[in-house]
Amino acid sequence: MKQKKIIRHWEISEILENDIKKGIYQIGTYLPTEDELCEIFKASRHSMRKALSYLVTCGLISRKARVGSLVIASTSIPQLVQSVGSIQQLLNYPKETSREIIDTSYIEADYNLANILNCSIGESWFLIQSLRFPKGYPVPICITKIYVIPEYAAVIKHKNKFLPVADQITDMFGEEADETQIDISATTLSAFEADQLKAKKGSPALTVTRHYVNKNGKVFEVGIATHPAERYTYSFYLKRGELFKK
């Protein structure tokens, strides 16, 4: 008796990925339901969920309970590798990415935020929330919270969206960072972050926090960028005496 071939989750994901790229499942449409896919591929629910999770990671679909699997892109998200060989490269994203503002608001720092921003509790800040996209791709590589002192709120009117906010502030207000502290940490995606990034809540993430300090020792900007782990890599090239050359 011929043994029944068991299809693996990576085989399912490869077939579905190719179908999406060919336009069989177009952007803005839904894949068949999980039950229907299990029947089509003669696969277990466990295998199907792993296959669909892979497509979410690739940025091809987004999934919501009781709604389904929505096709959001026809090409996979590239992993952006940022090579760092100078302090300027460490501070800024590559030019092939752009920033899109999704929300702005004035806020007052509570206890936790005051610790992050190195400010007093109740201090006023202007918050800019944005998404950063690789050139030519509809799915973002990170979500960023940028806190600036209220005097610089008008920085959102700067016309060059490729220019880092710190450079926009310098251009508009003459304020320059005398010191910059950069912290890189392993985190997980919150529900809001996951929704904006078309990723899974609680999945691993890389968070980069940058504090910009002026010559008087005052923090005037803090940027907190959170990347799904598989979408971003820092690659450092260090040579004695060269990293901090401008």
Write the single-letter amino acid at 25. Answer: Y
pLDDT in tens, 87-142: 455 555 556 678 899 999 999 999 999 999 999 999 999 999 999 888 777 788 89
pLDDT in tens, 197-208: 888 888 899 999
Is 132 in contact with 197 (CB distance < 8 Å)? no
Residue-wise over 144-162: b if at least 16 C-beta within 10 A, else e? bbbbbbeebeebeeeeeee
Task: Give the C-alpha separation, 196 to 186, whole Å.
Answer: 19
Strands 80-84 and 232-236, by their bridges, are parallel
Q: With left for phi above 0 and alpha for psi between -120 and 50, is residue 216 left, alpha or beta?
A: alpha
**Residues constituting the chain:** 246
pLDDT in tens, 189-235: 999 998 898 888 888 999 999 999 999 999 999 999 999 887 777 66
Task: Give Cα separations from 206 to 47, 76, 141, 228, 229 (angstroms).
Answer: 27, 19, 11, 6, 6
**Domains, the chain, ordered by start:** 9-71 (1.10.10.10), 80-236 (3.40.1410.10)
- pLDDT computed for residue 1 by the predictor: 44
Task: Give the C-alpha separation, 116 to 59, whole Å.
Answer: 30
pLDDT in tens, 47-89: 999 899 888 877 788 888 888 999 988 877 665 555 444 445 5
Write the single-letter amino acid at 117. Answer: L
- Nearest alpha-carbon partner for 223 in 122, 132, 157: 132
Write the single-letter amino acid at 73. Answer: A
> Is 0.75 surpassed by the pTM of this model?
no
- Nearest alpha-carbon partner for 200 in 22, 57, 82, 4: 57
Backbone φ and ψ for 23, nearest 5 degrees, come out as: 90, 10
Q: What is the DSSP letter of 77?
A: P
* Number of neighbouring beta carbons within 10 Å of residue 231: 22
Take residue 143 and report the two structure tokens written for it: 């979500």
